[in-house]
Amino acid sequence: MSKEKLYLESCCTSLEEVKRACACGADRIELCEDIAIGGVTPSLSLVKKVLSTSAIPVNVMIRPRGGNFVYSEEEILQMIEDIRSYKKTGINGFIFGCLKPENEVDISAMKRLMAEVGGKPVTFHRAFDQVANPSKALEDIISLGCTHLLTSGNMEDAFAGRFNIARLVEQAAGRITIIAGKGIRPQNLKQIAIDSKAPQFHGTSLFQAS
């Protein structure tokens, strides 16, 4: 990747969205379904179709339902099963995150999921933006071996949270890649990039406009 070019991840929910993102210069795809509830695990058939088309890395969300990120034992077992199935497809990596009821990272659940990924990159998603102590949560996520963290800086969107994101980037000190996400559009991307100092950016609107 050229140093002058921002690294952009496009959140996609269909083959057509993936094709457009690839054509418009996306660097990586986050594939999920049902974006209206924040995204859930995509179907295996969609994953296979996208992999046969995309020339850029494809990361798959593992999330059994919408709502909160406090998962039951049944749901954790479903996530483990999905990871085992999807890692055989040739995807680049995974996106998931688990919290405790008190809004802390669920270390135990995360360790079980991390044990299944087979060395593939893992992004801890915006469940992070619900944690009570972002600084501690960041250290927990790094200790788990996650390679990326997607965050709006614990604010409504990445523009509002851009200075918080900058603090996370400073704290991370290269130990994990911070991805700024939520509400990023072509109109505000440059300012978010300047103020957040994030190395990567995530959006659903960066490549989908006609």
Range of lowest pLDDT (35-39, 110-114, 123-127): 35-39
In a domain, 206, yes or no: no
User: With b meaning 16 or more CB within 10 Å and e meaning fewer, what string describes 72-88?
Assistant: eeeebebbbebbeebbe
pLDDT of residue 204: 85
In a domain, 74, yes or no: yes
Mean pLDDT of 24-41: 94
pLDDT of residue 68: 95
In a domain, 29, yes or no: no
Domain range for residue 159? 61-199
Distances (CA, A) of 182 to 49, 67, 150, 191, 201: 26, 17, 9, 14, 9
Mean pLDDT of 2-12: 80
pLDDT of residue 3: 40
Residues sharing a CB contact under 8 Å with residue 105, sequence separation 6 or more, in sequence order? 97, 98, 99, 124, 131, 137, 140, 141, 144
* Residue 25 confidence (pLDDT) above 70: yes
In a domain, 65, yes or no: yes
* Residue 210 confidence (pLDDT) above 80: no
Alpha-carbon torsion (115, 72, 129, 190), positive or negative: positive
In a domain, 44, yes or no: no
In a domain, 176, yes or no: yes
The per-residue pLDDT of the chain, averaged, comes to 94
In a domain, 87, yes or no: yes
For residue 12, with 0-12 CB atoms within 10 Å meaning exposed, 13-18 middle and 19 or more buried, which class applies? buried
* Residue 1 confidence (pLDDT) above 60: no
Mean pLDDT of 187-194: 96
Q: Are 113 and 83 in contact (CB under 8 A)?
A: yes
49-61 pLDDT per residue, tens? 999 999 999 999 9
pLDDT of residue 179: 98
Mean pLDDT of 75-81: 98
* Residue 208 confidence (pLDDT) above 70: no
In a domain, 4, yes or no: no
pLDDT of residue 123: 98
Q: Confidence band (pLDDT; 50, 70, 90) for 206?
A: confident
* Residue 4 confidence (pLDDT) above 70: no
Number of domains in the chain: 1
Mean pLDDT of 64-93: 97
Mean pLDDT of 75-91: 96
Percent of the chain with pLDDT over 90: 92
* CATH at residue 145: 3.20.20.380
In angstroms and rounded to an integer, the radius of gyration of the C-alpha atoms of the chain is: 16
* Residue 130 confidence (pLDDT) above 50: yes
149-167 pLDDT per residue, tens? 999 999 999 999 999 999 9
CA pair distance 10, 18, nearest whole angstrom: 8
